[in-house]
Amino acid sequence: MIDSSPAPARSIITFPLPREPEIRVVPTISVVVPTRNEAGNIPELVRRLEMATGDCSLEIIFVDDSSDDTPKVVEDIALHATTPIQLRHRPPDDRPGGLGGAVALGISVAQAPWVCVMDADLQHPPELVPDLFRQAISTESDVVIASRHADHGDMGEFSPLRKHVSESSTKLAQLAFPKALDGVTDPMSGFFLIRRDAVDLTTLQPRGFKILFEILCRTPGLRKSEVGFHFGERRSGESKASVQEGVRYLRLLLDLRFGPGWLSFVRFGLVGVSGIFINALALAFFTEWLGIFYMISAVAATQVSTLWNFALTETVVFDTPAGSAGRPRRAVLFFAMNNVALGLRGPMLYVLVSTLGLNYMIANIISLISLMVLRYFTADRLIWGRTPPPAGPSMPSGGAPPTFGVHPLVSTEQVH
Ligand code: GDD
Ligand code: MN
């Protein structure tokens, strides 16, 4: 049988390689294996998977981002394997989400009701797959995680540094998501079995290694359990873990926790702090040098710092939709917003100075900071027009698999 689902342009699709016509049997488990330069591991992985799963019907899906001859090795193996094998090779310029994107693509084309995600390098023992399946059935779980930290599990030969990084990432995740990760000792694992229908792929925005973590956080109500395992040694080739993957993880964690706008808020805050300095300088200049009454100076200082903030906000805070188009309109709105804010700050300033006896420079800074959050949300929603994201695309029925990683951003409501 030949894969009939249209594939992304230029992918190599082999499902399984043409052989005698056979009866299409829906497998029980689709094993999804993301691969990047794993040619030396594929034959052993397929052999051990077939041995381990015996009478349980399986399909294996390789989602490949390799530059070595992994695809060729997979094709050769598929000719002789008793298990149906799919190969989805992603071209170098179309690999959204890296490892996580590959896993999401694998899940989207899986035919079985259960999907087991595992690495190709045999650090995840294929012999555990039946245990994960038995556990899923006996505990009625939607997801069973192969955990290095559960009973009978261990991290194997990780370097002390990698152990430390892994443990800290896990602790951080558990602190940030106590509910979603309740009872999960290894949310960083790359080895798990999941009921295909329990994952809503449209909610995912995969990037990098931590796809299980994202699924757990974005899928409220998943029934979870774990099986401990020994994280083995890589059989051949090299690990693709990197500092860049660490940074990707931290960004994922912050996006999941605070929503995708957090980085704009941080940038807005930094620009705001620089604006406070400018405002204070201008206020001192008008009041001390020109001898203007501080309440009047505050009005003038606000125009100066608003100009400063506008230029920076326009260039570094928000991804301005269409370059300079609409800039005059945004400028007018931004000045209007800051002057309305000044209308609130004015009385605050006056009260702080005249009744509490604060220095006018200090009172000015307090008044600026106190309106920062309000100004951010006005700028974010009304001026730079970051409206709430539309719903994610639905899974095409029979169409090409969605390209993961280019979904509209998902709101925090979906995270629990
Ligand atoms: N398709 C694709 N694209 N596959 C990739 C990519 C990529 O960009 N990067 C890595 N892979 C594949 C590798 O070929 C391997 O099969 C698997 O993903 C894991 O990559 P490794 O490089 O072996 O990762 P690791 O051993 O350092 O880390 C693994 O174990 C950790 C602990 O369980 C991963 O599974 C991590 O996600 C996991 O946290
Ligand atoms: Mn590995």
pLDDT confidence band for 322 (50 / 70 / 90): low
Continuous H helices in 234-293: 243-258, 262-284
Has residue 276 been placed in a domain? yes
pLDDT at position 54: 82
Has residue 201 been placed in a domain? yes
More confident residue, 399 or 277: 277
* Residue-averaged pLDDT of the chain: 87
> Which of the given ranges, 52-66, 294-308, 323-337, has the highest pLDDT on average?
294-308
| The pTM of the whole model exceeds 0.95 | no
More confident residue, 260 or 102: 102
80 in the same domain as 63: yes
95 in the same domain as 200: yes
Q: Could you give the number of structural domains in the chain?
A: 2
124 in the same domain as 157: yes
With a 6 Å cutoff on the Cβ, whether 45 touches ligand 1 is no
pLDDT at position 400: 39
270 in the same domain as 343: yes
Pocket test for ligand 1, best of 65, 105, 107, 119 (most atoms within 8 A of CB): 119
Query: Angle 294-312/360-370 helices, nearest 10 degrees?
Result: 40
334 in the same domain as 222: no
86 in the same domain as 232: yes
- Closest ligand 1 atom, residue 123 Cα: 26
Has residue 6 been placed in a domain? no
* Res. 394: pLDDT tops 90: no
* Res. 79: pLDDT tops 60: yes
- Ligand 2 centroid to Cα of residue 123, in Å, is 6
C-beta of residue 141 within 8 angstroms of C-beta of residue 180 = no
234 in the same domain as 272: no
With a 6 Å cutoff on the Cβ, whether 99 touches ligand 1 is yes
- Ligand 2 centroid to Cα of residue 281, in Å, is 55
* Res. 204: pLDDT tops 80: yes
Has residue 8 been placed in a domain? no
Has residue 21 been placed in a domain? no
Has residue 3 been placed in a domain? no
DSSP helix/strand/coil, 89: strand
With a 6 Å cutoff on the Cβ, whether 186 touches ligand 1 is no
pLDDT at position 37: 97
% the chain with pLDDT above 90: 71
* Res. 24: pLDDT tops 80: no
Instruction: State pLDDT tens for residues 179-203.
Output: 999 999 999 999 999 999 999 999 9
pLDDT at position 386: 56
Which ligand has the nearest atom to the CA of 104? Answer: 1
**Cβ neighbours of residue 174 under 8 Å, at least 6 residues apart?**
181, 184, 187
More confident residue, 25 or 324: 25
- CATH code for the domain of 171: 3.90.550.10
Report residue 61 as tokens.
Answer: 């899906």
With a 6 Å cutoff on the Cβ, whether 226 touches ligand 1 is no
* Res. 5: pLDDT tops 50: no
DSSP 413: G
Has residue 269 been placed in a domain? yes
324 in the same domain as 211: no
* Res. 124: pLDDT tops 90: yes
What does the DSSP assignment read for 124-161? S-GGGHHHHHHHHHHHT-SEEEEESSSTT-B-TT--HH
* Res. 263: pLDDT tops 90: no
Which ligand has the nearest atom to the CA of 190? Answer: 1
* Res. 415: pLDDT tops 60: no
What does the DSSP assignment read for 189-236? -S-EEEEGGG--GGG----TT-HHHHHHHHSTT--EEEEE-B-----S
Ion ligand 2 neighbours (CB, 5 A) are: 119, 121, 123
94 in the same domain as 81: yes
Cα–Cα distance list, 242 to 170, 173, 238, 239, 249 (Å): 17, 19, 11, 8, 11
* Domain of residue 87, residue span: 29-259+396-414
Which ligand has the nearest atom to the CA of 238? Answer: 1
277 in the same domain as 227: no
183 in the same domain as 107: yes
pLDDT at position 264: 86
Backbone torsion region of residue 122, taken as left when φ is above 0, otherwise alpha when ψ lies between -120 and 50, otherwise beta: left
More confident residue, 385 or 228: 228
Has residue 13 been placed in a domain? no
**What is the maximum alpha-carbon separation in the chain?**
94
**Cβ neighbours of residue 199 under 8 Å, at least 6 residues apart?**
107, 115, 215, 219
With a 6 Å cutoff on the Cβ, whether 145 touches ligand 1 is no
199 in the same domain as 136: yes
